[in-house]
């Protein structure tokens, strides 16, 4: 379920990026199986996520949108990269340490350790210059950079040329594109924790498809404090900063405008104002989502076209890597 944090922290920025760059947006169904999941729900969730991307403004005439598993080069390149990725690099990944500790070793699959290599494959296949990432993903992007440099050194340049290739680098070394400051949305029940799909309580997040009554209830029950007035910059009031920031972003107002409007409000008044703003902002997305989901043929055609465009680029990269690593040509 895509939530407000995903939308503000990522998807909203993607919509702007598609006007500036050649962009690839894909639904990472292969990453989704790194932890236990409900198999019958996977395809439904994949379609739903694709529809949400489109409803939020991703435009298939400007960007390629597709399903990760529909471009088989992702898995093939992951295996090739795995042969050159030291296990010690993966053991350092913070998210693996945290998730494996919570789940226990007996319940953790190998994929939870190796999915950063799949993430590297996702990026390197498309000779990416820039990767939009949040602060919690910079370590994974740094791993991608290290893997690309290692494979370039092991198999690129003159070594590749001797095998009939063009020589030079097999991969571009990508850079991070960090979203604007203040775009991180925190939990509604804890202003110090990021809004998350995996948090046990649904009250901690606003899902993009939440109906009006659910949004009203979640904002009414979200954590606040007992101090008078509202302010952005008091470190002792993380929930206050978070809710004001959400209001600022979804209304498109400046920080100064929000301060002027809201600084003397009590929590009851502000929560009602925030609720109305959220409902007004999300309603067009929800309406468009329902339109897309009611026309399966339209959605399928977009995903098929996106996978076709992506495969042309991905297969060219993959074939170069196979050649440089010495495989017999198919």
Length reported for the chain: 330
Question: What is the pairing mode between strands 63-67 and 23-27?
Answer: parallel
DSSP 8-class letter at 176: E
Residue closest to 193 by CA, chosen among 214, 222, 213, 216: 222
Q: Whole-angstrom Cα distance, residue 234 to residue 239?
A: 10
C-alpha to C-alpha distance for 150 and 51, rounded to whole angstroms: 37
Q: Which backbone phi and psi does 272 adopt, to 5 degrees?
A: -65, -40
Told to judge if 197 belongs to the known catalytic residues of this protein, a careful annotator would answer: yes
Residue located via tokens 């042309």? 312
What's the CA gap between 75 and 85, in Å, rounded? 15
Rounded Cα distance, 142 and 150, in Å: 12
Would you call 194 a catalytic residue per the annotation?
yes
d(CA 120, CA 25): 15
Number of neighbours of residue 92 by Cβ within 10 angstroms? 12
C-alpha R_g of the chain: 22
Q: Report how far residue 302's alpha carbon sits from residue 152's, in angstroms, rounded to the nearest whole number.
A: 34
Residue in 12, 159, 194, 309 annotated catalytic: 194
Q: Return the structure tokens found at 153.
A: 């050194």
Q: Locate 48 and state its tokens.
A: 């739903």
Q: Do residues 72 and 314 make contact, with C-beta atoms less than 8 angstroms apart?
A: no
Joined together, the tokens standing for residue 131 give: 């990767």
Looking at 99, 159, 253, 309, which residue is catalytic? 99
Q: How far apart are the first and last CA of the chain?
A: 40
Question: Choosing from 44, 102, 197, 220, which is the catalytic residue?
Answer: 197
Catalytic residues, by residue number, are 99, 194, 197
């Amino acid at each position: 379920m895509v939530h407000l944090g995903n939308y503000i922290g990522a998807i909203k920025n993607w919509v702007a990026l598609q006007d500036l760059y050649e962009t690839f947006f894909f639904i990472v169904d292969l990453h989704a199986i790194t932890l236990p999941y409900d198999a019958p729900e996977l395809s439904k969730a994949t379609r739903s996520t694709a529809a949400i991307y489109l409803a939020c403004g991703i435009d298939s005439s400007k960007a390629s949108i597709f399903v990760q598993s529909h471009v088989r080069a992702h898995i093939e390149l992951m295996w090739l990269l795995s042969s050159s990725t030291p296990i010690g690099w993966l053991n350092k990944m913070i998210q693996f340490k945290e998730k494996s500790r919570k789940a226990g070793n007996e319940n953790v699959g190998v994929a939870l350790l190796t999915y950063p290599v799949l993430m590297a494959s996702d990026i390197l296949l498309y000779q990416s210059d820039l990767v939009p990432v949040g602060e919690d993903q910079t370590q994974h992007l740094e791993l991608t950079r290290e893997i690309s440099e290692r494979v370039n050194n092991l198999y690129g340049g003159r070594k590749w040329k001797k095998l009939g290739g063009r020589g030079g680098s097999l991969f571009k070394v990508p850079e991070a594109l960090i979203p604007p400051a203040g775009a991180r949305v925190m939990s509604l029940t804890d202003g110090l924790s990021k809004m998350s799909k995996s948090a046990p309580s649904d009250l901690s997040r606003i899902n993009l498809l939440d109906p009006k009554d659910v949004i009203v209830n979640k904002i009414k029950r979200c954590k606040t404090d007992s101090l008078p007035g509202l302010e952005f910059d008091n470190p002792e009031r993380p929930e206050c900063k978070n809710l004001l920031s959400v209001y600022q972003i979804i209304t498109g107002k400046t920080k100064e405008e929000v301060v002027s409007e809201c600084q003397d409000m009590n929590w009851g008044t502000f929560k009602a104002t925030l609720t109305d703003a959220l409902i007004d902002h999300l309603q067009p997305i929800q309406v468009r989502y329902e339109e897309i989901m009611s026309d399966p043929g339209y959605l399928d055609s977009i995903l098929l076209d996106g996978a076709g465009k992506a495969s042309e680029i991905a297969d060219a990269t993959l074939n170069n890597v196979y050649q440089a690593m010495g495989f017999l040509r198919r």
